[in-house]
């Protein structure tokens, strides 16, 4: 498949007349052909007109057609073959195994949502039959289902060019819900975006769906992204990226005549708590695993373990020495973009320049575009006194906070902003102490994990990839896993509608065979 640099608007490929730009090879900083023509506001208008027109039909597609569509997207992505992996490697600097794995995750995610759609439980069908004889008041017949919210704007993320981008989790869950999607491509990987966009476009045609179900727009700047969020035809937004970017989009969305939700996954430093029993038993092994996690993908994971909390003592000293030794052997890794590399360097310099912060280790230096790993430490009182030490450093650097006792450690946790994950490393002897921290961790994070690290989110039904602000803009949701579909649904209740006016899933003979909760009982088909 050749990459043309065109916007994909419904079934058409349109050369944008806005400012053009090229992809940059992450490892060399050299431009890669072709040039991408940025979308004009007219292109955006056309994409949104088509999306609005498609919504009525697409929102009522039968579940089998919608599931097949998601599976067809997955098949079309695989059919691109190695060109997709090669292009993503060049644009992102991420290695082949990582991108092949990410492609598998993307395809698996689409297939999982196909299963969710077929199952029908996401419709949350409820029926409270009429009770005409009830005293003192009769009860009306009430039936409820979830409906899709409308066209959704998705911003591709820089750090997962496949799994959090054009056909990533936000797009898959919005399409599964029945919402048309308009994607604003991340400028760090436009070629990868076009290849995947064309795969989705083919799937729309192959499944006989209205063309406006999907469009992909490029932009050299921010005009299109901002106009997309501001447009009255957009009903919700999915975003993964910086806190500043997420907040800017939330502001636009909340000041529209009709405000809409922005589901933004933003910044997180993912505390790791090292309990004494675990450290004494296997501190070296935990240190090696930590070094692997903090440097994974050049540290460019929002689940990166950026903060390590432990109790002062020999075991923590041993961990710090072993983690420092492992990190100092780690080669520098190409970062996604020169801008992300520069932001990383700035963040590390700010941390290293803090009077009370001590450098433990730096990884091996590398090319000018490569991020050098780092490990630093600070005492808990300093950390508690300076909120700047909580700022996310997007890259392969961690900060160890030395705590005098469990009480101080818990004060450090209590001082943290909302987080995506918290990891605790424990042995049997640590269970009582760990139990005492769990209520606090639940209030702070979206996922608590034991004896592991949060990088590498499993796409599953019981996954929460979310958390209180600023980890996300709405801690009641997740952007990974089947529950992500709920972001793009809203419930509607139907009171006393005759059977022939009811939507199919709520008709008396249950023609869809979807599970329904009748009179508050367990869902049954
Ligand atoms: N915690 C996390 O999960 C992640 C955090 N980051 C952080 O973000 C930094 C930059 O990385 P990046 O991935 O580019 O994230 P950004 O938030 O800068 O950009 C993400 C997308 O949103 C757009 N965007 C950003 N700000 C605005 C705005 N004010 N108005 C309209 N559109 C906007 C960008 O367009 P454009 O590129 O044109 O600005 C891009 O398409 C990293 O250095 C890192 O600190 C990045 C990825 C993941
Ligand atoms: O750890 C993962 O697999 C996902 C990380 C993520 O969502 C992100 O970095 O944006």
Nearest CA to ligand 2 atom 6: 302
Return mean pLDDT, the chain. 98
189 CA distance to ligand 2 middle (Å)? 17
222 lines ligand 1 (CB under 6 A): yes
305 CA distance to ligand 2 middle (Å)? 12
As annotated, the residues of the chain forming the CATH 3.40.605.10 domain(s) are 8-266+476-487
Contact, 134 vs 128, CB < 8 A? Answer: no
User: Relative to the CA of 297, which ligand 2 atom is closest?
Assistant: 9
- CATH level 2 (architecture), domain 8-266+476-487: 3-Layer(aba) Sandwich (3.40)
Helices (H) then strands (E): counts for the chain: 14, 22
- CATH level 2 (architecture), domain 271-450: 3-Layer(aba) Sandwich (3.40)
In testing the pocket of ligand 2, which one of 301, 453, 480 has its CB within 8 Å of the most ligand atoms? 301
Nearest CA to ligand 2 atom 8: 302
ipTM above 0.85, yes or no: yes
Buried b (16+ CB within 10 A) or exposed e, 198-214: bbbbbbbeebebbbbbb
As annotated, the residues of the chain forming the CATH 3.40.309.10 domain(s) are 271-450
**What's the whole-number mean pLDDT along residues 324-346?**
97
Q: What percent of the chain is predicted at pLDDT more than 70?
A: 100
User: Relative to the CA of 240, which ligand 2 atom is closest?
Assistant: 10
Tally of CB atoms within 10 A around 331: 12
Band the pLDDT of 27: cuts 50, 70, 90.
very high
In testing the pocket of ligand 1, which one of 161, 245, 263 has its CB within 8 Å of the most ligand atoms? 245
In this prediction, residue 116 carries a pLDDT of 98
241 CA distance to ligand 1 middle (Å)? 4
434 CA distance to ligand 2 middle (Å)? 26
Active-site annotation, residues: 265, 302
Paired strand residues for 358 = 377
87 CA distance to ligand 1 middle (Å)? 21
In this prediction, residue 244 carries a pLDDT of 97
Contact, 391 vs 244, CB < 8 A? Answer: no
Q: What percent of the chain is predicted at pLDDT more than 90?
A: 99
Band the pLDDT of 418: cuts 50, 70, 90.
very high
User: Relative to the CA of 456, which ligand 2 atom is closest?
Assistant: 3
> Tokens standing for 52?
């609005």
- Inform me whether the pLDDT recorded for 1 exceeds 80: no
Rounded-to-integer distance, Cα 237 and Cα 217, Å: 15
453 lines ligand 1 (CB under 6 A): no
Task: Give DSSP secondary structure letters for 296-357.
Answer: GGGG--TT---EEEEESSHHHHHHHHHHHHHHHTPPPEE-S-HHHHHHHHHHHHHHHTSTT-
User: Relative to the CA of 159, which ligand 1 atom is closest?
Assistant: 47
- Alpha carbons within 13 angstroms on the beta-carbon side of residue 331 total 5
Interval 75-123: pLDDT, tens: 999 999 999 999 999 999 999 999 999 999 999 999 999 999 999 999 9
> Tokens standing for 518?
């009748």
Band the pLDDT of 508: cuts 50, 70, 90.
very high
443 CA distance to ligand 1 middle (Å)? 27
The residues lining ligand 2, judged by C-beta closer than 6 Å to any ligand atom, are 157, 159-160, 164, 240, 301-303, 455-457, 465
Q: Spell out the residues 6+ positions from residue 46 whose beta carbon is closer than 8 angstroms to its own.
A: 9, 10, 14
Band the pLDDT of 59: cuts 50, 70, 90.
very high
User: Relative to the CA of 347, which ligand 1 atom is closest?
Assistant: 45
23 CA distance to ligand 1 middle (Å)? 16
Nearest CA to ligand 2 atom 7: 302
Ligand at minimal distance from the CA of 245 is 1
Strands 152-155 and 236-240: parallel
Ligand at minimal distance from the CA of 392 is 1
Ligand at minimal distance from the CA of 189 is 1
In this prediction, residue 521 carries a pLDDT of 97
Rounded-to-integer distance, Cα 180 and Cα 150, Å: 7
Ligand at minimal distance from the CA of 394 is 1
**What's the whole-number mean pLDDT along residues 477-497?**
98
Band the pLDDT of 2: cuts 50, 70, 90.
confident
367 CA distance to ligand 1 middle (Å)? 23
Quickly list H helices, 62-95: 63-80, 82-92
In testing the pocket of ligand 1, which one of 91, 155, 158, 238 has its CB within 8 Å of the most ligand atoms? 158
- Inform me whether the pLDDT recorded for 504 exceeds 80: yes
In this prediction, residue 248 carries a pLDDT of 98
Q: What is the largest CA-CA distance in the chain?
A: 79
In testing the pocket of ligand 2, which one of 99, 157, 160 has its CB within 8 Å of the most ligand atoms? 160
Ligand at minimal distance from the CA of 481 is 2
In this prediction, residue 449 carries a pLDDT of 98
In testing the pocket of ligand 1, which one of 23, 183, 187, 241 has its CB within 8 Å of the most ligand atoms? 241
**What's the whole-number mean pLDDT along residues 465-482?**
98
Interval 270-299: pLDDT, tens: 999 999 999 999 999 999 999 999 999 999
User: Relative to the CA of 393, which ligand 1 atom is closest?
Assistant: 45
In this prediction, residue 157 carries a pLDDT of 98
Nearest CA to ligand 2 atom 10: 302
Interval 213-269: pLDDT, tens: 999 999 999 999 999 999 999 999 999 999 999 999 999 999 999 999 999 999 999
Nearest CA to ligand 1 atom 14: 158
Nearest CA to ligand 1 atom 19: 241
In this prediction, residue 88 carries a pLDDT of 98
Rounded-to-integer distance, Cα 309 and Cα 272, Å: 6
């Amino acid at each position: 498949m050749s990459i043309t640099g065109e916007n994909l608007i419904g079934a058409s490929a349109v050369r944008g007349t806005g400012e053009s730009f090229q992809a940059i090879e992450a490892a060399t900083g050299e431009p890669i052909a072709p040039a991408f023509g940025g979308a004009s506001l007219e292109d955006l208008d056309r994409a949104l007109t088509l999306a609005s027109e498609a919504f009525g039909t697409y929102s009522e597609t039968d579940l089998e057609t919608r599931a097949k569509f998601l599976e067809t997207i997955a098949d079309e992505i695989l059919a691109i073959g190695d060109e997709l992996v090669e292009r993503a490697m060049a644009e992102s600097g991420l290695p082949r195994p990582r991108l092949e794995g990410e492609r598998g995750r993307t395809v698996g995610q689409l297939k999982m949502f196909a299963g969710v759609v077929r199952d029908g439980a996401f419709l949350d069908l409820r029926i409270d039959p009429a009770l005409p004889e009830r005293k003192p008041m009769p009860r009306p017949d009430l039936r409820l289902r979830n409906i899709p919210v409308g066209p959704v704007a998705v911003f591709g993320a820089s750090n997962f060019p496949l799994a959090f981008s054009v056909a990533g989790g936000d797009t898959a869950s919005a399409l599964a819900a029945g919402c048309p999607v308009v994607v604003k491509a991340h400028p760090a990987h436009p070629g990868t975006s076009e290849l995947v966009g064309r795969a989705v476009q083919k799937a729309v045609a192959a499944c006989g769906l209205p063309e406006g179900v999907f469009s992909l727009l490029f932009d050299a700047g921010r005009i299109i992204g901002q106009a997309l969020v501001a447009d009255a035809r957009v009903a919700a937004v999915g975003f993964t990226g910086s806190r500043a970017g997420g907040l800017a989009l939330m502001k636009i969305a909340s000041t529209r005549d009709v405000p809409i939700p922005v589901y933004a996954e933003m910044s997180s430093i993912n505390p790791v708590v090292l309990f004494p029993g675990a450290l004494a038993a296997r501190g070296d092994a935990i240190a090696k695993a930590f070094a692997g996690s903090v440097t994974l993908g050049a540290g460019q994971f929002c689940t990166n373990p950026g903060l390590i909390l432990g109790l002062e003592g020999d075991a923590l000293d041993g961990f710090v020495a072993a983690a420092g030794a492992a990190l100092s052997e780690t080669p520098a890794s190409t970062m996604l973009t020169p801008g992300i590399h520069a932001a990383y360097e700035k963040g590390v310099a700010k941390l290293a320049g803090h009077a009370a912060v001590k450098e433990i280790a730096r990884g091996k230096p590398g090319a000018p575009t490569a991020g050098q790993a780092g490990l630093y430490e600070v005492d808990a009182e300093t950390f508690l006194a300076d909120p700047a030490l909580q700022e996310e450093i997007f890259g392969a650097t961690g900060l160890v906070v030395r705590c005098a006792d469990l009480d101080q450690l818990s004060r450090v946790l209590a001082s943290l902003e909302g987080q995506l994950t918290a990891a605790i490393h424990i042995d049997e002897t640590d269970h009582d102490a760990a139990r005492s921290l769990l209520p606090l961790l639940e209030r702070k994070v979206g996922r608590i994990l034991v004896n592991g690290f949060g990088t590498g989110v499993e796409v599953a039904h019981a996954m929460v990839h979310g958390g209180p602000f600023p980890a996300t803009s709405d801690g009641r949701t997740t952007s990974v896993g089947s529950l992500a579909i709920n972001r793009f649904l809203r419930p509607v209740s139907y009171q006393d509608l005759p059977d022939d006016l009811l939507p199919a899933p709520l008709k008396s003979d249950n023609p869809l065979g979807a599970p329904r909760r009748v009179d508050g009982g367990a869902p049954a088909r």
